[in-house]
A and B are shown apart, each in its own frame.
Chain A
Amino acid sequence: MAAALVAAGCLLTACGSSSSVGSGSGQSITLYNGQHVQTTESLVAGFEKATGIAVNVRNDDEDTLADQIVTEGPRSPADVIYTENSPALEYLQGKGLLAKVDASTLALTPTRYNSPEGDWAGVSARVSVLIYDPSLIANSQLPASVLQLANSRYKGELALAPGETDFQPIVTSVMRTYGTAAARRWLEGIKANAGSRSYPDNETIADEVNRGAAAFGVVNQYYWYRMRAELGASAMHSGISYFAAHDPGYVLDVSGAAVLKSSRHQAAAQRFLAFLLSKQGQEIIAHSISFEYPIASGVTTAQPETPFSQLQPNPITVRELGDGSAAIALLKQAGLL
C-alpha cells in the first residue's frame, strides 16, 4: 500500500510538471495571475501562439500571490505577476523583488500609468463608479462626492466591501485630500451607514444592488458592464453613475504586470510584458468581456462604455496610491477590517 502511494505520488509529480514542459521553442514561463481569469486566458493564448513560449498560469487573489512571492523569496517559481491593481505591485517593488521592465515596453504606456521606478508596467485601467437601484434611490439623490457617503441620510442604503482591494485606493485618495483624521471620521460614518450590508467584494455589491438588496454602493465600472453581459439587459435592475469630476472618490485603478528579479527566464518574461502592451495584446483587452480600458499602444475599448478619454478621475498617481498599507491601517482603526 505504501509503495503504491509512493508510486502514485511520483506519477502525480510527473503529471503536475508535465504541463510546464513548453511546446514550440521549448521555453516556458510561470505567470502568477491576479487578473480576471478569462482575460488572462485570451492573452496567454495569443502570446503562446505568437511566440511559441508556453505559459503556466497560477490563478489566485493578487494579494495572496504577492504574499506567496514574498514567502518564496529567491526560490519563487514565478516569472511574471499580473495584477488588477497597482498596490500589490508597489508592495513587491518596495520589497526589492521586481526586475526593471524593458524601456521599449514602458514606452508603450503613458508614463503616469507605469511604476515611477520602471519596475512594473500599466496594462489596463478601470474607474470607480456608483452602482444604484433606481427603484430604491433616484439618480438625483446619489452623492456627488465620495465624502457624502458618510452622510447620515444614506443610513441603511449603502453597500460596502471594506476588504475589497478596489476600495483601498479610494480610502487612500480621501486620506490624501482631507487628511487622516477626517478620513477616519468619514470611514466611521460609512460604517454606520452600511450597517449589516458589509460584503466581501465588489462582485457581491454589484449583485446585491442589482437584486434590490441594497440601494447603492461604490464599485469599479466594469463589474456592472460584465454583469449586464452575463445576465442580459433585461435582468438589469441597476444603473451606474459617476462622481463629480476629479472627486477623490473618482479613482482610476491601474492593472499592471512585472517581471520578478528571481526569474530565470528574464528574456521570455520581458517578452510577455511586451506582448501585454503591444497593439495585439491591447486589442484582446479592448474586445474582452472584462470591460477594462486598454491604456497602451493607442488602443481604445471596443465595448459600449463611456470612452476612456471622457473620464474625469481624480489626479492621484500610482505612487501616491502606494501599497495601500496606510489605508488598511485606517480601515482597521475604524473597525471595518
Chain B
Amino acid sequence: MTGNRTRHDLGRQDEIRRAEVTTTRVARTRQGVFGDMVPARRTAPPRILIGASGAVAAVLLAPLVFLLIEARGAGTGTIAHLIWRPLTASLLWNTVRLTVVVTALCAIIGTLAAWCVERTDLPGRRVWAVLVVIPFAIPDFVVSFGWASLATWVQGFRGAVLVMTLAVYPLVYLPVAASLRGADPGQEETARSLGLGRARTFVRVTLAQARGAILGGCVLVALVLLAEYGAFEILGYQTFTTEIFTEFQVSFNVPTACALSLVLVALSVVVLGGDTAARGRGRLARTGPLAQRMTRRHRLGRATLPVLAGFVALTGLALGVPLGASVYWIFEGGAHAISGVSLVYAGWHTALYGGVAAALATLLSLPVALLAVRRGGRGGRLLERSTYLVLAMPGLVIALALSYFAERYAGGFGYQSAPLLIVAYAILFFPLALVGVRASVAHAPVGLEEAARSLGQGRLAVLGRVTLPLVGPGLAAAFCLVFLAAVTELTATLILVPTGVQTLATQFWAYQQNLSYGQAAPFALVIILVAAAPGYVISRYFDRLPARATRPL
C-alpha cells in the first residue's frame, strides 16, 4: 500500500469521522498501555472473538501450567527450602532495586525526551525522533558487551542501571510521545490562562495527561527487566533470572528453576497490579480524539543548547557506544581464521525465524486487541492484561515448557524444529505485538465502519478501504516490534534452534562467552543493521500515530 493512497483514504475518513464526532460530543475514555483514548462501548462481544481470544490466552499461559507442574514435582519442602535460603533475599533485593531505579530513570528520560521532541521547538526534532528510538533495536547484551568491553567500571549494579536504562528507555518514550501528540492542548492553555506557572502547568496538566502512557511504558520496562538475562550475565549482576539459569545449568535441576520462576511471575503480578491501581485513580475526560489542532510549541530559547547537548549525549551513549565498540573490536580483536558459520547464513535464518514469528504474533494479537478495545469490559481487560505475564518469564522457561509439551504430549514432534522455535518467539513477544495492534485498533473505531456501511459500502469494501488502511500501519509496527525482539532473542533460541543452525544472537553469544571479541563484533554489527530498519519503521509509525494531531483540521 502506498503512502499517497493511505493519506488519501485517511482524508476521506476524516470527513466521515468529523461527522461522527458531532454526534458523540463527549466520549467516555480510558487509556491503554500506549495511552490511546478510546470510546468504550458496552455491547456483548461475538462468541468467535471470545473463543479466539481465550484460545490465544490459553496458549500464552501454557508455560505457567508447566511451571506449576514442574514446581510440584520438586515438592513443597524443596521449594520452601529454596525460597527461604539466604541467597533469595539478596536476589530479591538485587532484582527489586534494579527494577525500581531503572524504571524511574526510564520514566524521567523517556518523558523529558518525548516532551522536548513533541512540545518544543527543538532543532532537528524529526531526526531526534528517530535516533532516540533506535537504541531499542540494539539487543541489551550487545549494549552491555559494548560498555563492558570498553570501560572497567561498567559492572554490577552501576553497570546494570546504566546499560538497561540506555537499552529500554524507548519503551517509555514511544507511548509518551504518542500521547503528548494526541493530548488536548486546550487544557494547558486553560491552566496557563488561570494563572498557573509554566512548571506547575507541566506537572499538573501535561504530566497528568501523559500519566497513562508513562505508566504503560514503565510496566513494559519493569517486566523486561525482570526477565533480562544476557546483559546481567555479561555485567556480572545477579538477579532472579540469572539465578534461574544457574539453577538450570549448574545443578541439572529443572524443578527448582521452575520454582524460582514462580517468584518471578509473582513479582510481575505485583507490577501489573500496581499499574492497575495507579491507573484507577481519576480519569481525564476530554472531547473526542478528533477535536484537536496544532499544538503551539514551547520556545526553548536559551535552553536550546543544553537540551541539544542532552540529546547528543543520550544518543551517543545509547547508540554510539555499542556501535563504536563493535567497530573497534572488529579492528582490534585478535586475528582469527574465518569461522565455519558465515554471517550471511546466520543472518538469513535470524531474519526468517523473526519474520514468520512476527507475522504469527501479530495475527494472534488481533482478536485479543479487538476484544479489549472494542468491547471493553472487565473480562476482556483481564484477559488482555494476563497476556503481559509472558513478558516476565525468561525465554529459557518458555522454551523448556514447549519442549516439555512436545516431548510429553506430541511424541517429540516438532522438537528442535523451526516451527516450535517460531511459536516460542510468538508467545514470548506477544505482548509487544499486542501493544502495536491495540493502538491501531483503537484508531479504527467501529463507528467508522458502521458509517461506511450506512453509506452503502459492502463488507469487503469496508475492510479494504476503511479498516485495513487505518489498522495497517499499526500492524506493521507490531510486526516490527516482534521482529526486533525475535532477532535479538538468545535463551529460548539456544534450546529450540534446529541443530546445525546458528542465529546471529547464538553465534555472537558463543564468541562473546569465549572472550573472542574480535569474532563476536561482526555479529553484533549485523544484528544492529538487521534491527535498524524495523527500528526506523517503528519510530516513524509512532511519530505519526495520531496523524491528525500534526495538522490543523
CB-CB contacts of A59-71 with B at 8 A, as 1s and 0s?
1110110111011
Asked if B3 CB lies within 8 Å of chain A CBs, one says no
A42, A91, A206: which contacts B515 (Cβ < 8 A)? A206
Nearest opposing residue in chain A for B412, CB measure: A75
A263 to chain B, nearest CB (A): 14
Q: Which of A45-70 contact B (CB under 8 A)?
A: 45, 56-61, 63-64, 66-68, 70
B426 to chain A, nearest CB (A): 10
Contact B495 A12 (CB under 8 A): no
Q: Which of B295-340 contact A (CB under 8 A)?
A: 333-334, 336-337, 339-340
Give the complex CA separation of A226 and B500 in angstroms: 26
Contact B494 A60 (CB under 8 A): yes
Q: Which of B42-50, B52-60, B351-359, B533-541 contacts A (4 or more CB under 8 A)?
A: B351-359
A9, A16, A71, A213: which contacts B407 (Cβ < 8 A)? A71
Contact B506 A59 (CB under 8 A): yes
A299 to chain B, nearest CB (A): 20
Nearest opposing residue in chain A for B501, CB measure: A16
Q: Which of B96-104, B200-208, B250-258, B522-530 contacts A (4 or more CB under 8 A)?
A: B250-258
Kindly list chain B residues whose C-beta atoms are within 8 Å of the C-beta of A212.
Answer: 152
Q: Which of A142-181 contact B (CB under 8 A)?
A: 163, 165, 168
Give the complex CA separation of A88 and B500 in angstroms: 22
Asked if A30 CB lies within 8 Å of chain B CBs, one says yes
Asked if B8 CB lies within 8 Å of chain A CBs, one says no
Asked if A236 CB lies within 8 Å of chain B CBs, one says no
Q: Which of A102-110, A227-235, A239-247, A300-308 contacts B (4 or more CB under 8 A)?
A: A227-235
Contact B238 A198 (CB under 8 A): yes
Contact B252 A66 (CB under 8 A): yes
Nearest opposing residue in chain B for A92, CB measure: B252
Give the complex CA separation of A267 and B484 in angstroms: 43
Contact B506 A13 (CB under 8 A): no
Kindly list chain A residues whose C-beta atoms are within 8 Å of the C-beta of B514.
Answer: 36-38, 203, 226
B336, B419, B510: which contacts A59 (Cβ < 8 A)? B510
Kindly list chain B residues whose C-beta atoms are within 8 Å of the C-beta of A9.
Answer: 356, 418-419, 422
Asked if A1 CB lies within 8 Å of chain B CBs, one says yes
Give the complex CA separation of A56 and B337 in angstroms: 20
Give the complex CA separation of A5 and B419 in angstroms: 10
Contact A8 B356 (CB under 8 A): yes
Give the complex CA separation of A199 and B233 in angstroms: 8
Given contacts A200-B236, A230-B334, contact A63 B417 (CB under 8 A): no
Give the complex CA separation of A1 and B475 in angstroms: 14
> Interface SS of chain A: helix, strand, loop or mixed?
helix
Nearest opposing residue in chain B for A59, CB measure: B510
Kindly list chain B residues whose C-beta atoms are within 8 Å of the C-beta of A2.
Answer: 363
Asked if B511 CB lies within 8 Å of chain A CBs, one says yes
Asked if A19 CB lies within 8 Å of chain B CBs, one says yes
Give the complex CA separation of A168 and B252 in angstroms: 13
Kindly list chain A residues whose C-beta atoms are within 8 Å of the C-beta of B5.
Answer: none
Give the complex CA separation of A12 and B349 in angstroms: 9
Kindly list chain A residues whose C-beta atoms are within 8 Å of the C-beta of B153.
Answer: 213
Give the complex CA separation of A270 and B419 in angstroms: 32
Kindly list chain B residues whose C-beta atoms are within 8 Å of the C-beta of A5.
Answer: 356, 359-360, 363
Nearest opposing residue in chain A for B246, CB measure: A163
Q: Which of A171-225 contact B (CB under 8 A)?
A: 196, 198-201, 203-204, 206-208, 211-213, 223
How many pairs of A and B residues are in contact by the CB < 8 Å rule?
Answer: 157
Tell me which of A38, A56, A223 has the highest count of chain B C-beta atoms within 10 A of its own C-beta: A38
Kindly list chain A residues whose C-beta atoms are within 8 Å of the C-beta of B378.
Answer: none
Give the complex CA separation of A5 and B100 in angstroms: 40
B40 to chain A, nearest CB (A): 29
A1, A38, A60, A232: which contacts B516 (Cβ < 8 A)? A38
Q: Which of A1-57 contact B (CB under 8 A)?
A: 1-2, 5, 8-9, 12-13, 15-17, 19-20, 30, 36-38, 41-42, 44-45, 56-57
Contact A38 B339 (CB under 8 A): yes
- Number of B interface residues, CB 8 Å? 63
Nearest opposing residue in chain A for B151, CB measure: A211
B118 to chain A, nearest CB (A): 35
A61, A208, A227, A325: which contacts B155 (Cβ < 8 A)? A208
Q: Which of B402-430 contact A (CB under 8 A)?
A: 403-404, 407, 411-412, 415-419, 422
Give the complex CA separation of A208 and B236 in angstroms: 10
Contact A15 B403 (CB under 8 A): no
Give the complex CA separation of A45 and B337 in angstroms: 13
Kindly list chain A residues whose C-beta atoms are within 8 Å of the C-beta of B404.
Answer: 71
Asked if A134 CB lies within 8 Å of chain B CBs, one says no
Give the complex CA separation of A257 and B512 in angstroms: 24
Contact B518 A20 (CB under 8 A): no
Asked if B513 CB lies within 8 Å of chain A CBs, one says yes
Kindly list chain B residues whose C-beta atoms are within 8 Å of the C-beta of A251.
Answer: none
26 contacts between A and B (CB under 8 A): A2-B363, A12-B352, A12-B353, A12-B356, A16-B500, A16-B501, A17-B498, A19-B501, A20-B499, A37-B510, A38-B516, A59-B502, A60-B495, A61-B249, A63-B248, A63-B252, A68-B495, A72-B412, A165-B250, A196-B156, A207-B515, A213-B152, A229-B334, A230-B516, A328-B250, A337-B87
Q: With contacts A58-B500, A59-B494, A325-B251 known, what are 8 further pairs, Cβ within 8 A? A: A9-B356, A15-B352, A16-B501, A37-B514, A63-B252, A75-B415, A168-B250, A232-B334
B interface, CB within 8 angstroms of A: 85-87, 148, 152-153, 155-156, 233-234, 236, 238, 242, 246-252, 254, 333-334, 336-337, 339-340, 349, 352-353, 356, 359-360, 363, 403-404, 407, 411-412, 415-419, 422, 494-495, 497-502, 506, 510-511, 513-519
Closest 10 CB pairs of A and B: A16-B498, A12-B418, A56-B500, A163-B246, A58-B499, A19-B500, A335-B86, A211-B152, A199-B236, A37-B510
A interface, CB within 8 angstroms of B: 1-2, 5, 8-9, 12-13, 15-17, 19-20, 30, 36-38, 41-42, 44-45, 56-61, 63-64, 66-68, 70-72, 75, 77, 91, 163, 165, 168, 196, 198-201, 203-204, 206-208, 211-213, 223, 226-227, 229-232, 289, 325, 328, 332, 335-337
